[in-house]
Amino acid sequence: MAKITVNDLDVRGKRVFVRVDFNVPLEEKDGRMVITDETRIRETLPTLNLLISKGAKVILASHLGRPDGQVVPSMSLAPVAVRLGELLNKPVRFVPACVGPEVASAVGAMQSGDVVLLENVRFHAGEEANDPAFGEQLAAVVDVYVNDAFGTAHRAHASTEGVARIVAKRGGVAASGLLIARELQFLGDELEQPARPFVVILGGAKVSDKIKVIDRLIEKADAILIGGAMAYTFKLAQGAKVGLSLVEKDKTDIALKALAKAKERGIKFLLPVDNIVATPVDSGKKDKKGRPKMDLTQPRVNVGDNIPDTEEGVDIGPATVKAYAEVLAGAKTVLWNGPMGIFEDPRFAEGTFAVARAVAEATQKHGSKSIIGGGDSVKAINKAKLGNQVTFMSTGGGASLEFLEGKVLPGVAALKDK
């Protein structure tokens, strides 16, 4: 599992191509594109500073948005070069292309420790198609390949996989950056032999999205706590009434299988014992897809298994929070993926925030190792301002989920084993 990292490399004077994830949110202000959240840029700094201090010529490549192989000026990486220069405290030259003569000439002019940022690789259709010819063009200026973009490591694209293979074939090294190395450590190694009890919290919209993770973790965990809309598919499978809750009626069979497997293994598999429910009322407005938009009105606590026909489950209730917090207090390893309710609405965020507090407390007071598996749970932890009180927060959404399913990520597989 362990991969060669930038720590292991001698890169002095070498042209090091680093695939980063600079897919930052941008907003237009006064005719300029402005970065509204620079977390992803900051996360690459340890790897970049290390390479600079080792005397590499650092060539950065990333995607931004979904330009689908077209040049879309609002998705240019130019604003990122400016901000990165400020954060690194040194000039970052922006090249308005990612392949071709402009790149060759900019790289040819580089000195050890210099940094250039190439234009959005997804302006070329060859990127997402992992076109070998486009990969060769990218690789034309590369001695060493480094991948530090965990968020796209589950995609076999030219800059995440193709170039790595080409460089390796030529006898060069393809290594992981510090960020990917940490992801592999926490989502991989730390969960192989977790300190016990190992408690897994799973939430979010759909059982079907996470059934492979559930299935795999039932084999490893001591307790699984279920929240979010996916809990209602389990409840329905057990014969309860779920009212108007978001539910996957055709997935009750996989829910029952998971419950049976948990029973067979003798692990705790907890479902909510109460819920916050609300009454959906047509707001008269339409959503982006033209469907009627519902207002969720009259929130209240609903105790027990059954939700009335006119109401919808939107969060876990206080008794569930208490039960889950008790299990978490005894945990030595915690893995969390997916919110407990519609946490984007402050009225239905308490269950998710309370679980976030319980995870932070387990980490701070009981020395538990807490791993937050990306996406909405990371957003929730940050919203609760508890990001610095957990052990690790993954930078991948889809990538962390696929990794937790036990899938081989193409962007990781292409890197050299230790």
Q: List interacting residues with ligand AMP (CB under 6 A).
A: 204-206, 209, 228-229, 246, 313-314, 338-339, 341-342, 344, 375-376
Of residues 102 and 209, the one with the C-beta less far from ligand AMP: 209
Q: How far is the CB of 79 from ligand AMP (least distance, A)?
A: 28
Known catalytic membership, residue 14 = no
User: Running DSSP on this structure, what letter comes out for residue 388?
Assistant: G
Known catalytic membership, residue 171 = no
Of residues 47 and 233, the one with the C-beta less far from ligand AMP: 233
Provide the β-strand partners of residue 373: none
Of residues 136 and 305, the one with the C-beta less far from ligand AMP: 305
**Beta carbons of 24 and 34 less than 8 angstroms apart:** no
- Closest alpha carbon to 278 in 294, 299, 293, 295: 299
Contacts of 310 (CB under 8 A, 6+ apart): 243, 244, 279
Q: What is the 3-state secondary structure (H, E, C) of 208-248?
A: HHHHHHHHHHHCCCCEEEECCCHHHHHHHHCCCCECCCCCC
Q: How far is the CB of 63 from ligand AMP (least distance, A)?
A: 21
Of residues 243 and 339, the one with the C-beta less far from ligand AMP: 339
Contacts of 386 (CB under 8 A, 6+ apart): 356, 357, 359, 360
Of residues 326 and 344, the one with the C-beta less far from ligand AMP: 344
Known catalytic membership, residue 375 = yes
- Closest alpha carbon to 80 in 67, 65, 68, 69: 65
Tell me the three state secondary structure of residue 258: helix
Which listed residue (83, 90, 93, 206) is catalytic?
206
Residue whose Cβ sits closest to ligand AMP: 204
Q: How far is the CB of 337 from ligand AMP (least distance, A)?
A: 7
Of residues 121 and 229, the one with the C-beta less far from ligand AMP: 229
Query: Quick one: tokens of 221?
Result: 């965990």
Which listed residue (40, 165, 251, 369) is catalytic?
40
Other residues' Cβ atoms within 10 Å of the Cβ of residue 273: 16
**Beta carbons of 238 and 212 less than 8 angstroms apart:** no
Which listed residue (13, 69, 188, 398) is catalytic?
398
The single-letter code of the amino acid at 221 is A
Alpha-carbon distances of 30 from 34, 89, 174, rounded to whole Å: 9, 26, 41
Q: How far is the CB of 353 from ligand AMP (least distance, A)?
A: 13
Provide the β-strand partners of residue 296: 280
Alpha-carbon distances of 292 from 145, 284, 288, 298, 309, rounded to whole Å: 49, 7, 10, 19, 19
Which listed residue (204, 375, 396, 397) is catalytic?
375
Q: How far is the CB of 179 from ligand AMP (least distance, A)?
A: 22
Known catalytic membership, residue 206 = yes
Q: How far is the CB of 98 from ligand AMP (least distance, A)?
A: 31
Q: Which residues are catalytic?
A: 40, 206, 375, 398
